[in-house]
Structure 1
Amino acid sequence: MNYRVDPTQWIIYQVLTDRFYIGNSKENQMCAHLIDDSGHDLSKYLGGDWRGIIEKIEDGYLTDMGFNVIWISQPVENVFALRENVSSYHGYWARDFKRPNPLFGSMEDFRELIRIAHEHDMKIVIDFAPHHTSPAEVGDLGYMEDGVLLDNGRAIASYNWDPHNCFHHAGDSDEDFDTYEDGLYKKLYGLAGLNVQNDIVDRYLKEAISLWIDTGIDGIRIDGVRHLPIGWLTSFVQTFARDGRLFIFGEWYLGKHRRDPRNPQLANESGMGLLDFKFANKLKQIMLEKEDDWSGFVSMLNVTEKEYERTHELVTFIDNHDLPRFTRENSIVTDIALVVLLTSRGIPSIYYGTEQYMTGASDPANRQMMNSFNKQTPAYNIIRILSGLRKRNMAIAQGKTSILYHSPEIIVYQRAFGGHVVVVATNLGTTSVEFMSLYTQLPEGSYSNLVGEFRGEKEVNVDKFGKIEAMVLHPYDSVVLGTSDHFEYQPAISHIFPAVSKRGDKVCIYGTAFDKQQGRVKVGTVEAHILNWQDDSIEIVVPELTPGKHHVEITRIDTESAVYQHFRINTGEQVSVRFIVDEAYANDDEQIYLIGNVFELGNWEPAKAIGSFFKKVLYQYPTWYYDISVPAGIEIQYKYIKKNFSGEVVYEDGENHVWVSPTDQTGEVRVTWGCPIGGEADDRS
């Protein structure tokens, strides 16, 4: 296959580059004020670098644990100034997105990291924070570096010197982000927020990420996507990820009691994966805080399955650099959490040091220097064993979850795909439980508990009906059983990547039992051109058909078939456009939406209208605005509508607005509500 990336196969190890391992000693005198050689001042650079990561790839520490992806800190040049004695060690205070951070290494070092990783069958994901540059203060050009933005050393703008409106200047938002609109367009945490809808900024960021893509990176994690317009994010993802050679996932922070429908909307419509905060929050509530039990975990799985079209692209985790470390007093709880993480749906990501039971509360205590590289810890070996299981048993990465039993303290679940089956059981209670008649899809036989060397039953027998004959779960035990031989007779599609595409793009269908002889593939009702057919993957060209949501069907030569439901075809290349409407007066219970003649604008269906529009920060009522991803370089017809809480719709008077979208840049189109085509306030961009 030509595709380098199938993210369902990823097992991610997240490192803060500065806190992992020191490869080169730091002798850069220009940066001496940023560095603490003692390793104790967590607000300074401590010396970790790309050479250090290379060493830990080559000595087998990461590969022996089973990881095949390393997610590293944002690699770009950061500010050299301090903020209240705090440095940019984390990589999130960019000044030049086109240059490497010299405290992490040179561009040659970075390319060497990519080369060595690929030689060891590992992939590299970089952090990318396009929302902002660095801290800035209104009216104080001398504060730090004033949020400066450089283009390979040339100044484009800074927060208080901004001739081209490259930054947002709509005031500060409090930490609770009064509204979603505030979080998009106001300054957060004192950081100079980039106006990504500005064509200069949009071009610059896309040029910059192209430079890093050209080094051979395999994925991008976008920081703070909750604070970036969905329209811009969609156009960004579709620019760089549509050929399937790059997986992009984002961080949309969700607190443990927070739900935001825009979160799954972004994942479903943009083609972007997301960090799964719901998963992390729920395990923390169950295992550490004792606020919930396994019924809450089951509910979380059911809810996410309904909300997200591609749960297999959710990146699951138990802690990271923004959260307190999972390990507290009892390392056994961490072991159980790792068992659940590595056998659940989604792409598992493990924060550096979890395998060494590192502890630490909030930032910066959760960002200490890596303290050990011991390969003998139970956590290290649980990761090693279950990473191997993920790679050889398709049930974990690609299968469905069935709950076989759960109580407040105990859960038993099954992952199954085709003939691949894994059964997982764990007990958080203080008493032992024996299962005598638990029915599974496991074939008859005797199964070794893969994590039995640490805790739990060593052997479990299954009869010809798939019934577990006897299994005892002692307190804090875990049992993991998996099939080793797989015989598939019926074809099954697990996923398509990328699942959001356009006509003429190449995509790959993954699954099992497709057969080695080429059959047929239909997208909707149209037969697709097949580029490559294998038993577990098929590469096709997206055919010419009406943009929208389509099912994909593969048919073997023996007429056995399989169907996948969630495949989106966009109208064409995507650009982000700000739609603005003036004099749109509405009742208190009404909001403004947009519909139009293309799939991206709902194909004139009010139920699929885009919005609701904003009216407070960049423009104020009765002017409304929204940033939307639309097909590039085509004539678009559209109308504004009002919808109230009851779903009643009021259409804008007059003929449709007609407008040609930009070909390769951001845009803006502004009209007056109800103004007919040719009127004095017609479309203007």
Structure 2
Amino acid sequence: MEQPITEYSMRHYCGGTYRGAIDQLDYVVEMGFNAIWISPIPSNTDIETIYGVGWHGYWQDNIYQLNKYFGQEQDLINFIDEAHKRDIWIMLDVVANHVGPNVTNNYYVPFNKSEYFHQPLCLIKDYSNQTEVEFCSLGSERSVLPDLNTEHDFVVSAFVSWINETIMKYKFDAIRIDTFRHVRKSFWKDYNRYSGVYSLGEVATSDASYVGAYQNVADGILHYPLYFLLNQAFQDNDQSRQSMFVIENQVQENEKYFNDTTLCGIFLDNHDQDRFLNHTQNSVRIQNALVYLMFSDGIPIVYMGTEQNFTGNPNEKYGATDPWNREPLWKSGYNRSMWIYKYLAKLNQIRSLLKEQYNEEFFISHQQTMLIDNDTYVYKKGPLVIVVSNQSFNRTKKLSFGSTVVSNRWKDLLTNKIYEIDNNNELEIDSWQPKLLLPVSSSASILSSCLAVLSFLLSFFFNMNK
């Protein structure tokens, strides 16, 4: 009999392995994904804390040893090989800022001397103080994550050698870098150069000018400034929901501070944040949010479990966030009939066919606003006109094409409905349902294509299968 899931069990290993993940790769393929973001692979501390043990992978104690709970070296090699056979990329989560909680510094490998850690020990209290952010430790007084001295030559050498050897040995395709802002920017230049693959840094704050500056030392950055606003705009709560202007304004801000937003990771939730579906259960609003995620500037990241309508556990302490947002996927039974699973597969297929029709034009083009009001956002990206709304009821609106009309007839790729432009170069739309509008001459070839789905989408797989 399967044991009930408790907060204690959620803070400990629950059986996910690389071997088990191999068995579910086709689940990923059928949803249209072609990249998976996996947990860090080094050994983690088993010391019991108020937050459990290092089951998540972020409390490393020996970077040269694999996490035994996830599987053996050959299991990891086989997992990546099987993913590559299916044209799936693997992005590795990496940590260079800290190690797991322990009582003595000589416990860690290879960082077994006090000089390899920032001294004296301090906890981050003021995130507006960059020196404190980079030199003090994460955690709490009861569970400190010792902060590595990434100015020390030995620490730098150990990490750049490790990342180079790890990428080469296992053939990872990309890296996601944890706690990116907690390490000096100059450290990351060598680290990412030695990795030799696409790098995506985590800078978990809402200030676009601050976050965007980190794209100077990584290929892309997780788009936290936009994440916070997407959750505010697409939530169900009428009192706290923000207008669509906040999204459009942020898009304009991004252009000022990011080198290239099309290389950044856009997301609705992740393992560190509340489940998006805890705040949004209206199916129309969910569809609109997913369409924006998949068809705006950036690399869309869908967090494991969204496709199965995972909401966390709102009735428990910590609710929709850690640890309840990290539930094992197998409890869903990998239900391919779940409507969100099928909707993501459909969106993924459209992305793939756009890529086939227009090469990279859609993905490297930047979105341009056509219409914006409190509840509707219409923008052009490449050849596509995207309509999204945060309302759950129908409103008819007119979209002006001005003198730039490329076709009088447009097809919605989501419904196959044809829309015709009137004599005033305006197109009347019902604005509550999302739309992906393409000129009829172009959409015909896209909708008739039977090519395989190859969209570039990232998914975080966490304890995927027993």
TM-score range, shorter chain: 0.7 to 0.9
1:284 aligned residue:
231
1:49-128 alignment, distance < 5 Å:
49-57=17-25, 60-84=26-50, 86-128=52-94
In structure 1, distance between residues paired with 2:208 and 2:384: 32
In structure 2, distance between residues paired with 1:260 and 1:173: 25
1:272 matched to 2:219: yes
2:346 aligned residue:
385
In structure 1, distance between residues paired with 2:386 and 2:322: 33
1:243-282 alignment, distance < 5 Å:
246-254=197-205, 258-259=206-207, 261-267=209-215, 269-282=216-229
Does structure 2 retain, via aligned residues, the 8 Å contact 1:390–1:397? no
Compute the displacement of 1:275 (Å): 0.1
2:108 aligned residue:
149
Compute the displacement of 1:450 (Å): 2.9
Task: Name which of 418, 428, 437 aligns with 1:470.
Answer: 428
Does structure 1 retain, via aligned residues, the 8 Å contact 2:44–2:57? yes
1:226 matched to 2:181: yes
User: Which runs of no fewer than 5 residues in structure 1 stay unpaired?
Assistant: 1-35, 453-457, 488-685
User: Which runs of no fewer than 5 residues in structure 2 stay unpaired?
Assistant: 313-319, 355-359, 444-466
User: Which SS does the other structure have where 1:375 is aligned?
Assistant: coil
1:429 aligned residue:
391
Could you give the per-residue CA deviations for residues 105-160 of structure 1, whole angstroms, max 9, x where no partner exists? Answer: 11101111111111000100010011011113xxx43xxxx573214xxxx40xxx
Could you give the per-residue CA deviations for residues 623-666 of structure 1, whole angstroms, max 9, x where no partner exists? Answer: xxxxxxxxxxxxxxxxxxxxxxxxxxxxxxxxxxxxxxxxxxxx
Task: Name which of 321, 338, 343 aligns with 1:362.
Answer: 321
Compute the displacement of 1:274 (Å): 0.4
Compute the displacement of 1:224 (Å): 0.4
In structure 2, distance between residues paired with 1:204 and 1:399: 39
Does structure 2 retain, via aligned residues, the 8 Å contact 1:238–1:270? no
Does structure 1 retain, via aligned residues, the 8 Å contact 2:160–2:190? no
Compute the displacement of 1:461 (Å): 2.4
User: Which SS does the other structure have where 1:470 is aligned?
Assistant: strand
1:336 matched to 2:288: yes
1:277-676 alignment, distance < 5 Å:
277-288=224-235, 290-328=240-278, 330-332=281-283, 333-360=285-312, 361-370=320-329, 371-372=331-332, 373-393=334-354, 394-416=360-382, 421-429=383-391, 431-439=393-401, 443-444=406-407, 446-452=409-415, 458-463=416-421, 467=425, 469-473=427-431, 475=432, 477-482=433-438
Does structure 2 retain, via aligned residues, the 8 Å contact 1:39–1:369? no
In structure 2, distance between residues paired with 1:130 and 1:247: 17
User: Which SS does the other structure have where 2:20 is aligned?
Assistant: helix
| Structure index of larger Rg | 1
AA at the equivalent of 2:89: K
Compute the displacement of 1:326 (Å): 0.2
1:171 aligned residue:
121
Compute the displacement of 1:205 (Å): 1.2
In structure 2, distance between residues paired with 1:423 and 1:395: 14
Could you give the per-residue CA deviations for residues 572-606 of structure 1, whole angstroms, max 9, x where no partner exists? Answer: xxxxxxxxxxxxxxxxxxxxxxxxxxxxxxxxxxx
Compute the displacement of 1:442 (Å): 6.9
Cα 1:147/1:392, change in 2 over 3 Å: farther
Does structure 2 retain, via aligned residues, the 8 Å contact 1:404–1:414? yes
User: Which SS does the other structure have where 1:384 is aligned?
Assistant: helix
In structure 1, distance between residues paired with 2:155 and 2:192: 16
1:678 aligned residue:
none
Compute the TM-score of the two structures, normalised by the length of structure 2.
Answer: 0.83
Compute the displacement of 1:408 (Å): 0.6
Cα 1:49/1:195, change in 2 over 3 Å: same
Q: How many equivalent residue pairs?
A: 415
1:237 matched to 2:192: yes
Does structure 2 retain, via aligned residues, the 8 Å contact 1:147–1:191? no
1:5 aligned residue:
none
Compute the displacement of 1:425 (Å): 1.2
Compute the displacement of 1:471 (Å): 2.2
Cα 1:216/1:432, change in 2 over 3 Å: same
User: Which SS does the other structure have where 2:15 is aligned?
Assistant: coil
2:464 aligned residue:
none
Compute the displacement of 1:447 (Å): 4.4
Query: Which fold has the larger relative contact order, with Cα–Cα distance below 8 Å and residues 6 or more apart in sequence?
Result: 2
AA at the equivalent of 2:298: G
Could you give the per-residue CA deviations for residues 42-69 of structure 1, whole angstroms, max 9, x where no partner exists? Answer: 1111111111221111xx2111111111
Cα 1:293/1:99, change in 2 over 3 Å: same
AA at the equivalent of 1:359: T
User: Which SS does the other structure have where 2:207 is aligned?
Assistant: coil
Cα 1:400/1:228, change in 2 over 3 Å: same
2:158 aligned residue:
204
Compute the displacement of 1:463 (Å): 4.6
Could you give the per-residue CA deviations for residues 329-359 of structure 1, whole angstroms, max 9, x where no partner exists? Answer: 5242322211110010000101000011100
Higher strand share: 1
In structure 2, distance between residues paired with 1:39 and 1:230: 40
Could you give the per-residue CA deviations for residues 287-318 of structure 1, whole angstroms, max 9, x where no partner exists? Answer: 22635211111110001011112111110000
Does structure 2 retain, via aligned residues, the 8 Å contact 1:226–1:252? yes
Does structure 2 retain, via aligned residues, the 8 Å contact 1:444–1:464? no
Cα 1:469/1:483, change in 2 over 3 Å: closer
AA at the equivalent of 1:86: G
Compute the TM-score of the two structures, normalised by the length of structure 1.
Answer: 0.57
User: Which SS does the other structure have where 1:392 is aligned?
Assistant: helix
Cα 1:486/1:426, change in 2 over 3 Å: closer
User: Which SS does the other structure have where 1:193 is aligned?
Assistant: coil
User: Which SS does the other structure have where 1:400 is aligned?
Assistant: coil
In structure 1, distance between residues paired with 2:381 and 2:390: 20
Higher helix share: 2
Percent identity at matched positions?
23
Cα 1:63/1:482, change in 2 over 3 Å: farther
Compute the displacement of 1:210 (Å): 2.0
Task: Name which of 94, 97, 101 aligns with 1:135.
Answer: 101
Does structure 1 retain, via aligned residues, the 8 Å contact 2:58–2:95? yes
User: Which SS does the other structure have where 2:99 is aligned?
Assistant: strand
Cα 1:389/1:344, change in 2 over 3 Å: same
Cα 1:364/1:91, change in 2 over 3 Å: same
